[in-house]
Structure 1
Amino acid sequence: MAIEVRVPQMGESIVEAVIGAWRKREGDPVNPGDVLVELETEKVNVEVTADRAGVLQHILKREGETVTVGEVIALIEETAQVTAPVQETPAEAGRAREPAPLPEVTTAAASQPAQPAGGPAVRATPAVRRLAEEYGIDLAEVPASGEGGRVTREDVLRYVAQRGAAARPADGAAPQPVAAAPPPAAPPAPGVTPPEAPVVLPFSAAGRREERIRMSQRRKTIARRLVEAQHTAAMLTTFNEIDMSAVVALRNRWRQQFRERYGVSLGFMSFFTKAVVGALKAFPLLNAEIQGDEIVVKYYYDIGIAVATDEGLVVPVVRDADRKSFAEIEREIEELARKARERRLTLEELSGGTFTITNGGVFGSLLSTPILNPPQVGILGMHKIEERPVVVNGEIVIRPMMYVALTYDHRIVDGREAVLFLVRVKELIEDPERLLLEG
């Protein structure tokens, strides 16, 4: 009896996904709970598991194809519970065996690199699989350095260079030599973003390099939402600068005791989260959204914290930030950031923010104009702390300064409220003791 494997419900706002990587191949035995395939959605990646034991009979949707909720993507031939294979004796292992007949596959299926039978499925994007196919190598033999054991383009090219292999163009022309890939770089120091490694690509006939990479569902969604925000909201950005001396001194004084007591570092994000909450209480229209002809003002404070990942920017949400302590905020941000990098965020953790904070300063940005995260009407951009000469009480002094930017929806937020909101954030950060009262 054939069992249909369908795309599951993945949240109210998600209606389609892209086939990411099949963990099982046709002919593989499966047990209940085994992961069959990974789906890429606009917010999170979803693993589809088997409900019953059997054999994966047919894969109907290949990697890179777009599927909708409820669509059949594979068929499983139901059998009894599949047990672990019995270990063979050396004599049995040495006996000749007749090769099993290969299942009929489509051209797209035949182009996929084989995965080792009995071993874990190779994790790689379709672009990396196509690159491996060009060089005629088995991805299972390539040492993986990506997150979660994923094989990257650099891994493939490094493996090719070590073997001295050459690309095999589809037109039958002579193989093109491959430049040696650089050796693995030493791990960066904590808090330092490593530069992107150069990627050596096969040359085309004209001697010019190109690569086509399928845009992930998440990247397409990010692009669509950014364009929609610019087309639907009357976005305007106002700027200010903050003297970070008091916060820097406070962190330096309490950092070690804070970590010893709470098991987490005292970062700048908790200060800005508290300052934003205090400013939102004073100017509630920044914590609102437009629904039709109505303005919905929210008196709860779910603050989105933008996190950069390999697959794009995600914005997990710290719920009820006004009710959380500095330690609770820092601990939650650290956990959400780790889950984002490991691609373990849930839809609940990504939904429903009322205001967003983004920190380009961790990458060295001195000034930027952040784009709204719809349907929110406000986003605060933090930037790099840099020592600059400023005038204090008629004297020129050197202080650690940060530019901050507030982008707001001018449809419901006037310039006066936006400017005063940013001034309130500045006042709270420059006098962090006030955060205990207003944040």
Structure 2
Amino acid sequence: MAEIIVPELAESITEGTIAQWLKQPGDTVEKGEFIVELETDKVNVEVISEEAGVVSELLAAEGDTVQVGQVIAVVGAGSGSTASAPAPAAQSEAKEEVKATEAPKAPVAEETTNEQDRTIASPAARKLAREKGINLSEISPVDPMGRVRVQDVSAHGSAPTTTKAAPASAASATKEDDGRTTREKMSRRRQTIASRLLEVRQNTAMLTTFNEIDMTNVMALRSRKKDKFFEDHDVRLGFMSFFTKAVVAALKKYPYVNSQIDGTDIVKNNFYDIGIAVSTEGGLVVPIVRDADRKNFSEIEANIGELAKKARDNKLALSDMSGGSFTITNGGVFGSLMSTPILNGTQVGILGMHTIQKRPVAIGNEIEIRPMMYVALSYDHRVIDGKDSVGFLKTVKELLENPEDLLLES
């Protein structure tokens, strides 16, 4: 017999949430095979079984908070079925149903649970479906690959249903608001994001300064070079590498923007680890492009692409997101025209990119239509004065409006 224990996750993380059981009681598991997915404050972690055998017992349900070192499952000797048995919650429901009706209803519950287990769904979608009493197999997902997401569960839940009774919490909420609102518990990561953003707002003297960039030249350069760039490097040339290079050059010119406060000291970073904010289903994450000053355009683009894919697949490691010195966030991908980004952790600066919009601008004594982008620098005024903040943003603007200079300055 072997126990599945919540492993050491990171120095600052002591607990996690069961996001999804990948094996159920009765399932065969091989040594080194993933058995459960844990959601922590920062990343999702898949836990392996150290022994081969059959899952005999699950000691925690999806959605439960578990501590590092806690036993959450037991793997026994022997061989079992690869088909999933009911999860603990489903088993309990089946037992109660048998007691209430004095009839053997368990096989029906097992069949329903097996159908749900075979449905491809995100952990968040499974959790919401369980809370709303919705059978995942009855949901028609929008995703062409058939993956059920939170939006699909919410849309299905808003339609009239006559099958399962909702859990007590959902039933009481429905009685209270007559179905006009939907209550959804924050995921662990969303709770962490919320508390940290609030902490930044309360504990920093955050200000934001704005400028606008004429994207004509960088767009023209990218248009001329993108095909050859892809042919040579097998990676697409986007705008993020230009902005990353411009930011690195500006940080070298204004080193206090690349610093942090430690007590009564200002610690200036002599490295350039640039965080790139990525939106995922579970919330915003900020993986780090390490030593961006030492990387060329293709290396930066490849690095960003790899990190973004890992973020979307919940495969980011804690090491992918720790220790950044400055952050870039791009609200423009969602159509944002202007915003005031919030500082990331202990960093004292963050650059916000926005959507490119054609606008009339004065060029000399003429009015021309140019592709313009508003950019915003949020900064901690305790460290950075107006001169440095404005100068930093002006440097980024000038380099992007004259992108050939990036080869010399970055």
Matched with 2:129 is 128
Matched with 1:229 is 200
Matched with 2:223 is 252
Matched with 1:152 is 149
Does residue 389 of the first structure (1) align with residue 360 of the second (2)?
yes
Q: 1:29 to 1:144 in 2, by over 3 A?
A: farther
Within 2, Cα distance between the matches of 1:267 and 1:127?
36
Kindly state the Cα deviation for residue 12 of structure 1 after the two structures are TM-superposed.
1.9
Within 1, Cα distance between the matches of 2:154 and 2:88?
31
Within 1, Cα distance between the matches of 2:409 and 2:398?
11
Kindly state the Cα deviation for residue 26 of structure 1 after the two structures are TM-superposed.
2.2
Q: 1:359 to 1:251 in 2, by over 3 A?
A: same
Matched with 1:116 is 114
Does residue 329 of the first structure (1) align with residue 300 of the second (2)?
yes
Aligned letter for 1:166? T
Within 1, Cα distance between the matches of 2:260 and 2:86?
60
Whether the 8 Å CA contact 1:245–1:400 is kept in 2: the answer is yes
Within 2, Cα distance between the matches of 1:424 and 1:104?
58
| Deviation sequence 1:197-222 (CA, Å, 0-9, x none) | xxxxx975864333222211111111
Higher mean C-alpha displacement, 332-341 vs 297-306: 332-341
Matched with 1:63 is 62
| Deviation sequence 1:104-140 (CA, Å, 0-9, x none) | 98847979975429x8586442111233x35xx4x35
Kindly state the Cα deviation for residue 389 of structure 1 after the two structures are TM-superposed.
1.4
Q: 1:225 to 1:206 in 2, by over 3 A?
A: closer
Aligned letter for 2:43? V
Within 2, Cα distance between the matches of 1:284 and 1:313?
27
Matched with 2:342 is 371
Aligned letter for 2:33? D
Matched with 2:104 is none
Within 2, Cα distance between the matches of 1:102 and 1:67?
17
Q: TM-score, normalised on structure 1?
A: 0.80
Q: 1:143 to 1:53 in 2, by over 3 A?
A: farther
Matched with 1:8 is 7
Q: 1:26 to 1:110 in 2, by over 3 A?
A: farther
Structure 2 counterparts to residues 285-434 of structure 1, below 5 A: 285-434=256-405
Matched with 2:100 is none
Structure 2 counterparts to residues 87-236 of structure 1, below 5 A: 107=92, 115-116=113-114, 123=121, 124-131=125-132, 133-134=133-134, 137=135, 139-140=136-137, 150-153=147-150, 155=152, 166-169=162-165, 207-236=178-207
Aligned letter for 2:29? V
Q: 1:23 to 1:397 in 2, by over 3 A?
A: same
Does residue 26 of the first structure (1) align with residue 25 of the second (2)?
yes
Within 1, Cα distance between the matches of 2:141 and 2:379?
43
Q: 1:101 to 1:10 in 2, by over 3 A?
A: closer
Within 1, Cα distance between the matches of 2:146 and 2:273?
33
Whether the 8 Å CA contact 1:307–1:316 is kept in 2: the answer is yes
Kindly state the Cα deviation for residue 13 of structure 1 after the two structures are TM-superposed.
2.1
Name the % identity.
52
Matched with 2:99 is none
Kindly state the Cα deviation for residue 241 of structure 1 after the two structures are TM-superposed.
0.8
Whether the 8 Å CA contact 2:289–2:303 is kept in 1: the answer is yes
Kindly state the Cα deviation for residue 143 of structure 1 after the two structures are TM-superposed.
6.2
Matched with 1:76 is 75
Matched with 1:268 is 239
Within 1, Cα distance between the matches of 2:294 and 2:341?
27
Between Structure 1 and Structure 2, the one with more helix by share is: 2
| Deviation sequence 1:350-386 (CA, Å, 0-9, x none) | 1111100001111111110000001111000011111
Kindly state the Cα deviation for residue 102 of structure 1 after the two structures are TM-superposed.
11
Within 1, Cα distance between the matches of 2:94 and 2:197?
35
Whether the 8 Å CA contact 2:24–2:87 is kept in 1: the answer is no
Kindly state the Cα deviation for residue 322 of structure 1 after the two structures are TM-superposed.
0.7
Aligned letter for 1:129? R
Within 1, Cα distance between the matches of 2:227 and 2:402?
21
Matched with 1:179 is none
Whether the 8 Å CA contact 2:28–2:80 is kept in 1: the answer is no
| Deviation sequence 1:42-61 (CA, Å, 0-9, x none) | 11111111111233222221
| Count of equivalent residues | 389
Q: Can you give the 5+ residue segments of structure 2 that lack an aligned partner in the other structure? A: 97-108
Kindly state the Cα deviation for residue 76 of structure 1 after the two structures are TM-superposed.
2.3
Aligned letter for 2:148? V
Whether the 8 Å CA contact 1:370–1:407 is kept in 2: the answer is yes
Q: 1:244 to 1:161 in 2, by over 3 A?
A: closer
Q: 1:104 to 1:363 in 2, by over 3 A?
A: closer
Q: 1:204 to 1:302 in 2, by over 3 A?
A: same
Q: 1:60 to 1:303 in 2, by over 3 A?
A: same
Q: TM-score, normalised on structure 2?
A: 0.85
Q: 1:47 to 1:264 in 2, by over 3 A?
A: same
Kindly state the Cα deviation for residue 227 of structure 1 after the two structures are TM-superposed.
0.5
Aligned partner of residue 114 in structure 2, secondary structure: coil
Whether the 8 Å CA contact 1:204–1:210 is kept in 2: the answer is no
Within 2, Cα distance between the matches of 1:311 and 1:50?
26
| Deviation sequence 1:313-336 (CA, Å, 0-9, x none) | 111111111111111111111121
Within 1, Cα distance between the matches of 2:12 and 2:145?
27
Structure 2 counterparts to residues 26-45 of structure 1, below 5 A: 26-45=25-44
